[in-house]
Structure 1
């Protein structure tokens, strides 16, 4: 229970932060709510539409709801309830104004809550209080990571893979809902088992409409559907970005701890069956290849694992696009793991620009790159690190991804004196749909700071020559006794 409470404290740190030059980790404290807490019934869900997309190896849920203020006073706090065992799997929660999606997302945070409670809450703060009897259409989107159960639990090497997904027909809500519907999108029409009685339209199930459901109403349902694809999950991704102004280079390296979360094999792996399946179309849920699209102009790509360099890779790069295709040393079946690293270089001018005033630079780089697969990729934890030039000061950043921690430290490398300022951002429950979201880092880098490295090199070389000259002029001969 104590571990769960610590998790909620971490997850509550969201938004844009500024970092000083010294080491620090910023976490925001929240009000702890008692076990008996219930959101005040100041809102009503007039109409709610829920979409559950199961086409990838993680569930993506989107809820469009028309909210009305029932209170006599303006209200600006909307609560989203989740089961305690489910909230740890929620990632990328985002709430916006459905009618004006270009505006920034609303502030959303996990409320510190009594860990003994079976229900936990996200607290959404509206940008402006909603006046009495007024309505607002909310767009709520989030991902649910590692929430699938293979059924059957084990399969043969050439069997289809089926996944069991449990959900509630009624959207869990802290408020009364007048009317709601639930839609589920599957990767195929092969859905052999399901509860309730949905309306089937190809690869989509429709439930409802349901009317006049009180706050907290739930009705458990489940579906079992075919997903004969790898369920790719990185328990940890360490992504490093190193900036060199003197070399005009941006070096990226990513270290993955990958696992296949699908159904394990019911028998020993057969190399013969695997070789046959490469020439004939057979059901197969193994991961045999990863495709990593990179930005145009990327160069010097490499791919290594725990043993060493892996030659079964292909890298193609043009000024407009670049692609890295890699094959693990062995196919990954359910329950199998594989750790590796990839890296590449790129021209710094594509990512860094200098402002018109002062010595301030702006770095814009994707928070996530990595594999882009049709079945999707999820990440349990992402540690994103930016190593800035030595002498960089006044470091600030903007990150669209909800973070659990951030810190600034010093990193020493070749010919450094005081060390390079390093920014480290940590997020959990991230999916590959975050590839298009950029981190913006601003920092000051003066001419004196830029000259520090060549001055250090010059001083080092000069010291070597002076030492060599001084040693060469020493008289070390043995004089004859007089």
Structure 2
């Protein structure tokens, strides 16, 4: 039973592989009439450009041809592309798809479709570009700080193809003219930093000949081992981008210790990396660049016409095997990358952006955070990627979460700087969700506060505390009434002085009646408060009663003062008699009012 299950699983795996990568046959009627290859070893990546003139010697038209990558480099292939060059700038790109050939297992094969069927006897020239990462190895593997770096490249001196090749030449461009050794398969010619092999004539299909080149190469062997690109989309006009990098110098490792003194004194360390440049969108704003310590202040940001140039200078020069970690972030306006028609939206951005010239990224993860409420999401990429499982991201004011689209890819180079698309549906009314949530939250907060301050959450009532609070409120009212009565005493005195001055009896009587009415009202209020204090059995009731008694005495003195003022105006008493009596009345009033103040202070 277990054996049957294993056979079924093995058969399923084989079927998956068969249906994932197609299988083609090689048409022997196609012939490589002329091949011109250029192998670029000037940087840390290997670029092989092949200009292949293909002739159909058969009797029927052909739709495609097979391009092969030999087993020596097949595992290092990062990118392959084909096109038909034109006299103008509009080169025609051809469709390239990985395929298999029966009986050939080690090499990789790609099916390149002609722009139209290649008729019998017709010729066409196709330019194929291949890029290989980590295809050179340092030799020696370790060097000192002052030594130069040498690289060893192993490839095929012949054009590896499933077709007959009539004539071919290969030109190898090196970083410098210092070439330690190279394969001398004749005819071969060297000139400064280039080596030309061929022409070789009439080579059979799948011809192989080892080509080994050992030369100086001090170009920056900088490799991004891991990269995370985070894109957060907002429908309020902004797209936030943050990229995190783990970087390693993949050249010859440093032998011995590092001396910064010697490094600055002799300017040695040709293979080290002091600085590199990253290109950002021209509309990038609020750019930041930091490492584990903080802001990388030694770096510079320059604003150019069509881009932003960020010159990154690590805190220390990078030698072989050394690593660093940093991240950059910026904001860009959404109108340049986000398009919509009604509720249908399309986000069009680069899957990977420029990190440095001739970049190599071993592994990259793209994470796109869409607005909350986005649905019917579809990711369209310019090349094959590994789709991760969609998830949700939660931040302020989110309810169901924001959709997160994840994708990853290994071995990326500059040629992979292409646009991806995310299509989704987003109802416009969802833009109001967060403002409404804020308004609702504040409304509920105010309602809760209002209810809270009006409810009694005590388990049982404290009678003594409540009685004390009632008495305190009554005392406060008593003090207020007494203060207003004291003000009326002054009003009486002002009315008498005015009467003595203008001798207007009618005006004096009118003013006095008004003051008497106000005084009567305040006295009634005081009587009411006195009754309430007595009901509470408070000691303050005695003090309030004493205030009432003092008020009666003050009132009597005021009436007496009024009578003497009338006699003075009528001429019934002399001025000296009035002054003596007035002084006596004022002295008594002052004493009574002082007693009232002392009582108020004692509450």
- The alignment's TM-score, normalised by the length of structure 1, stands at 0.83
1:403 aligns with 2:390: no
8 Å contact 1:192–1:225 — kept in the other structure? yes
TM-aligned CA deviation for residue 385 of structure 1: 2.6
Deviates more, 1:111-120 or 1:80-89: 111-120
Q: Secondary structure at the match of 1:453?
A: helix
Q: Among 197, 202, 221, which residue is 1:207 paired with? A: 197
Greater RCO (Cα-Cα under 8 Å, separation 6 or more): 1
User: Which residue in the other structure is 1:92 paired with?
Assistant: 79
**Counting helix residues as a fraction of each chain, which structure ranks higher?**
2
8 Å contact 2:32–2:52 — kept in the other structure? yes
TM-aligned CA deviation for residue 309 of structure 1: 3.8
1:349 aligns with 2:357: no
Spell out, residue by residue over 1:74-132, the C-alpha distance to the aligned partner (whole angstroms, 9 max, x if none).
Answer: 33242222344632311221122334884663332333689993223223344544333
Spell out, residue by residue over 1:298-317, the C-alpha distance to the aligned partner (whole angstroms, 9 max, x if none).
Answer: 22222222344433322344
**Distance in 2 separating the partners of 1:353 and 1:426:** 24
TM-aligned CA deviation for residue 275 of structure 1: 2.8
TM-aligned CA deviation for residue 335 of structure 1: 1.2
Deviates more, 1:203-212 or 1:128-137: 128-137
1:335 aligns with 2:321: yes
User: Which residue in the other structure is 1:226 paired with?
Assistant: 216
**Distance in 2 separating the partners of 1:361 and 1:122:** 35
For residues 102-117 of structure 1, the aligned pairs below 5 Å read: 102=90, 105-111=93-99, 117=105
TM-aligned CA deviation for residue 177 of structure 1: 0.7
**Distance in 1 separating the partners of 2:84 and 2:280:** 33
8 Å contact 2:391–2:404 — kept in the other structure? yes
8 Å contact 2:154–2:211 — kept in the other structure? yes
1:322 aligns with 2:311: no
User: Which residue in the other structure is 1:291 paired with?
Assistant: 277
**Distance in 2 separating the partners of 1:69 and 1:150:** 43
TM-aligned CA deviation for residue 222 of structure 1: 1.4
Summarize the Cα distance change of 1:200–1:380 in structure 2 as closer, same or farther, 3 Å threshold: same
**Distance in 1 separating the partners of 2:240 and 2:315:** 25
Summarize the Cα distance change of 1:316–1:42 in structure 2 as closer, same or farther, 3 Å threshold: same
Rg: which structure is higher?
2
TM-aligned CA deviation for residue 331 of structure 1: 1.6
Summarize the Cα distance change of 1:168–1:442 in structure 2 as closer, same or farther, 3 Å threshold: same
Q: Among 413, 430, 445, which residue is 1:449 paired with? A: 430
**Distance in 1 separating the partners of 2:25 and 2:251:** 38
TM-aligned CA deviation for residue 203 of structure 1: 2.8
**Distance in 1 separating the partners of 2:305 and 2:204:** 57
Deviates more, 1:141-150 or 1:196-205: 196-205
8 Å contact 2:249–2:318 — kept in the other structure? yes
**Distance in 2 separating the partners of 1:128 and 1:298:** 42
Q: Among 66, 73, 78, which residue is 2:53 paired with? A: 66
Task: Provide the aligned length of Structure 1 versus Structure 2.
Answer: 446
**Distance in 1 separating the partners of 2:104 and 2:58:** 30
1:364 aligns with 2:348: yes
**Distance in 2 separating the partners of 1:411 and 1:172:** 49
Q: Secondary structure at the match of 1:118?
A: strand
Deviates more, 1:263-272 or 1:315-324: 315-324
**Counting strand residues as a fraction of each chain, which structure ranks higher?**
1
1:244 aligns with 2:203: no
Summarize the Cα distance change of 1:46–1:154 in structure 2 as closer, same or farther, 3 Å threshold: same
**Distance in 1 separating the partners of 2:445 and 2:127:** 66
8 Å contact 2:263–2:269 — kept in the other structure? no
**Distance in 2 separating the partners of 1:28 and 1:381:** 26
1:420 aligns with 2:410: no
**Distance in 2 separating the partners of 1:432 and 1:371:** 9
User: Which residue in the other structure is 2:496 paired with?
Assistant: none
1:156 aligns with 2:137: no
8 Å contact 1:60–1:144 — kept in the other structure? yes
**Distance in 2 separating the partners of 1:60 and 1:462:** 64
Q: Among 153, 156, 174, which residue is 2:162 paired with? A: 174
8 Å contact 1:81–1:174 — kept in the other structure? yes
1:475 aligns with 2:463: no
